[in-house]
Structure 1
Amino acid sequence: MKNSHASILTMILVLVFAVPHVFAEVEWKIDTTFSLSETPLDTAASSNGKWIFILTDAGKINIYTVQGAHRETIDVGTDVDKIRTGSDPNIIYLQSRKKKTVEVLVLDFIMDFDLTGSPVKGPVDAPVTIVEFSDFQCAYCSRMTGQIDQILKNNPKTVKVVYKHFPLSSHHYAVKAAMASMAANEDGKFWDFHDQLFKNYNHLNDQKVEEIAQSLKFDKDEFNKRRNNPKLLEQIKRDYRQGIEAGVRGTPTLFVNGKMVRDRSVKGVQKMIDSALKKQKKP
């Protein structure tokens, strides 16, 4: 038996080492050069692939786009000697051997969203804009509708809400529901349809959508034709791409005047609204 095992092992080794090596030729080039006035100590990239962070010996982090455009400089102090990034593209970990510390630096990137064609609720000229990325089959998004209504009620003249579609791949009817809502938007009934979809978020299907359309007095044939328009799907895809570029990972995700909301409670959002209004009052 031992001789048999030894023979098998020998055959395996012969087969392994008999396989010819495959050599891959590597082509390379310097894609981007970041010119600095200080000595670089460490670099890191954001998890979404949008930003390059360079720590210098002057205790500063320079933020660049991957194309090499400088966007911001943050003074973190000369005690910081290493930087690291994680799964959240808005967080940098600052390591200091001298102080024996790791600090968490949270970045607030101000996003400039294209709002063309997106449904709006509230005064069009409101100084504060809340952009909501949402999914009609998301339970958390369904709960957010009441909070959004409360926020608008508390800020009737200063806040508007813009709805952006971010259908999750795990929700198989989310895209169809989004297209139906945008078909309703063409008749100015997006928000009515929106409310009904969220009331039924956990059992959405073609039949339920047709029931909602009928309750809102849509012609069945015309509505079905409209909600299957490929142009609506393109807009939903644009919304989704904007969300990905802005660092949206799940739903609901809110932005107040371009800044991502981390505390989605009514109190937390109100704090950001007040801060945005205060900034606009400064000379």
Structure 2
Amino acid sequence: MRKTIGGFLLVLGLLLNGQPVPAEEIRISGERKIQLKSPPVDLAVSVNGNWIYALDREGDILVYSGDGKLAGRVPTGERGSRIKVGPAEDVLLLTNPEKNSLRVVTLDFVKDIRTEGSPFKGPKDAPIVITEFTEFQCPHCAALAPVLRQVHEKYPDQVKIVFKNFLLKNHRFGAMAAAAALAADHQGSFWPFHDRLFENGRELSDERIKNISIELGLNQEKFLRDMRHPETMRRIGRDLEDAQKAGVKGVPSLFVNGRGVRDRSLNGIVAMIEEELRKITIVEKECAECTEKKNP
């Protein structure tokens, strides 16, 4: 009995002193081997554990996914540097003691986002695809709507804007508004309904949503049937799955050809579109030159 009490007091004392309780045995419960392309100089892991960064002797950052697949190589030209993860998973800090320098590097993770079956405006095969994750009771999302309207007017033949839902728990009518907009889509009125919902975002209610459908002249029987249909809920669920895969944490979230948009102002979005268009022009030029060489 005394030994039991003594052992208990020893463990309690260790816990109170902040000391770890020694384990009788420690085993490896899991292991994953990653074969690096070149010897690493330094390693870092993203905050959420999704990415592993290996800095090699040439100053290249090798980016591996959490399951060990090489996602890409980013040249930095910084030999002899050390690497640390910054405040976000896409921000890296490169320190070079010899040069007494610190570089803050922001990476672009291009996401492959499913857009089939989602409402869109613009050409179906447009070279630039803007994917928007949003919610109808979000005031910041409402403020972004006219900006995207300007983008559509500026690039009517080059940009496709795709709408995807991202529901917020603290918004009572967010799910109902999302279902109503998708129901309106069955009658060719998604975007008018979309605009009216954002205009009334702070005053949304069951009655207001119904009144919008009446004002737009929608067939009420079909509208209510489509709104309650299980497929409508499945479409919203797919949007939430796609948001999770894309790493969306809040709304509004925008992606231009899979690249996350940090500056959601009109100028910021236009700058990214122009950059993507320049890349496409370069690729098309290179392809044309290759064709000429093959067929002189």
TM-score, normalising length from structure 2? 0.82
Take 1:25 and 1:233, find their aligned partners in 2: how far apart are those partners?
A: 49
Superposed counterparts of 1:1-283, under 5 Å: 17=9, 28-76=28-76, 77-86=78-87, 88-282=88-282, 283=286
Secondary structure class of the residue paired with 1:103: strand
Take 2:86 and 2:118, find their aligned partners in 1: how far apart are those partners?
A: 33
Q: Any unmatched runs of 5+ in structure 2?
A: 13-20, 287-296
Take 1:116 and 1:25, find their aligned partners in 2: how far apart are those partners?
A: 52
1:242 to 1:24, Cα distance in 2 relative to 1, 3 A: farther
1:160 maps to a residue whose letter is K
Take 2:107 and 2:124, find their aligned partners in 1: how far apart are those partners?
A: 29
User: Does the aligned pair in 2 maintain the 1:45–1:85 contact within 8 Å?
Assistant: no
User: Does the aligned pair in 1 maintain the 2:62–2:70 contact within 8 Å?
Assistant: yes
Take 2:278 and 2:205, find their aligned partners in 1: how far apart are those partners?
A: 45
Which segment is superposed worse, 91-100 or 17-26? 17-26
1:34 to 1:178, Cα distance in 2 relative to 1, 3 A: same
Take 2:251 and 2:213, find their aligned partners in 1: how far apart are those partners?
A: 25
Which segment is superposed worse, 96-105 or 195-204? 96-105
2:109 maps to a residue whose letter is F
Take 2:142 and 2:128, find their aligned partners in 1: how far apart are those partners?
A: 23
Take 1:67 and 1:102, find their aligned partners in 2: how far apart are those partners?
A: 30
User: Does the aligned pair in 2 maintain the 1:60–1:73 contact within 8 Å?
Assistant: yes
RMSD: 2.5
Report how many aligned residue pairs link the two structures: 270
How far off its partner does 1:23 sit?
6.4
Take 1:89 and 1:260, find their aligned partners in 2: how far apart are those partners?
A: 13
Take 2:6 and 2:221, find their aligned partners in 1: how far apart are those partners?
A: 70
Which segment is superposed worse, 207-216 or 98-107? 98-107
User: Does the aligned pair in 1 maintain the 2:63–2:72 contact within 8 Å?
Assistant: yes
User: Does the aligned pair in 2 maintain the 1:38–1:58 contact within 8 Å?
Assistant: no
TM-score, normalising length from structure 1? 0.86
Take 1:181 and 1:25, find their aligned partners in 2: how far apart are those partners?
A: 58
